[in-house]
Amino acid sequence: MKLMRSVFILVLLLTAIFIIGGLFLPKTHHISRSIEISQPDSVVYQFVLDYQHFKEWSPWYKMEPAAPTTIMGFPGKPGYTYAWSGKELGKGKIELIKALPNQQILQEMTFYMPKPSVHQTNFYFESTSPGSTKVSWTMEGSNDGIFDNWMYTVFLNRMIGKEYETGLKSLKQVLEK
């Protein structure tokens, strides 16, 4: 009986910590990774802007290369879309919102499965020297509740950040060949 009571109190205490702690975590998330690529900003920008090249450097394509993808629209034009549907990757799309030549690509990423959500996924390009560009890849959005506060703040920054680093290294490798 004492053991059951102790377990009950422990579960109650952990639940309270989870709920109360989650109330103090940020209500938005921001993930950012950068890399320097030995190519002019115009070359890097044009390559990233065209979703036809996404499979060449995407960390997620490497996870599930057989996942069906669809590209709709025209590179550089708002509404240009890359959509996917896979067993491991879930289902979603990336849509170009705005592109500023050689400076930034603003996109909206929508997940339909496994958990519906919407995020801003953007690229920023900065010429660091003649023939060299710093590329920053970011994801931001709002957290919808205590569970999201914990997931994005504690876990997903590490997980997504690791995938962004892998993708940026692949992008660098492809562009510096």
Structural tokens at position 154: 């504690």
User: From CA 172, how far away is CA 176, in angstroms rounded?
Assistant: 6
Rg of the chain over Cα atoms, rounded to whole angstroms, equals 20
Structural tokens at position 167: 């993708």
Instruction: Give how many domains the chain has, as a whole number.
Output: 1
Query: What is the pLDDT, as a whole number, of residue 154?
Result: 67
Read off φ and ψ for residue 145, nearest 5 degrees: 110, 175
In a domain, 97, yes or no: yes
Per-residue pLDDT of the chain (177 residues; tens, 9 = 90+): 788 888 888 887 777 776 776 666 667 778 999 999 999 999 999 999 999 999 999 998 888 999 999 999 999 999 999 999 999 999 999 999 999 999 999 999 999 998 888 999 999 999 999 999 999 999 988 767 666 666 666 677 788 899 999 999 999 999 998
User: From CA 102, how far away is CA 129, in angstroms rounded?
Assistant: 14
Among 67, 35, 39, which residue's Cα sits nearest to residue 166? 35
Which residues does 14 contact at the CB level (< 8 Å), separation at least 6?
none
DSSP helix, strand, coil percent of the chain (3-state; round to 5):
40, 35, 20
In a domain, 12, yes or no: no
In a domain, 116, yes or no: yes
In a domain, 45, yes or no: yes
Count the neighbouring beta carbons within 10 Å of the beta carbon of residue 116. 12
In a domain, 71, yes or no: yes
In a domain, 98, yes or no: yes
CATH number of the domain at 144, please. 3.30.530.20
Tell me if the pTM is above 0.85. Answer: no
Count the neighbouring beta carbons within 10 Å of the beta carbon of residue 38. 13
**Full domain range(s) for residue 68:** 28-175
In a domain, 124, yes or no: yes
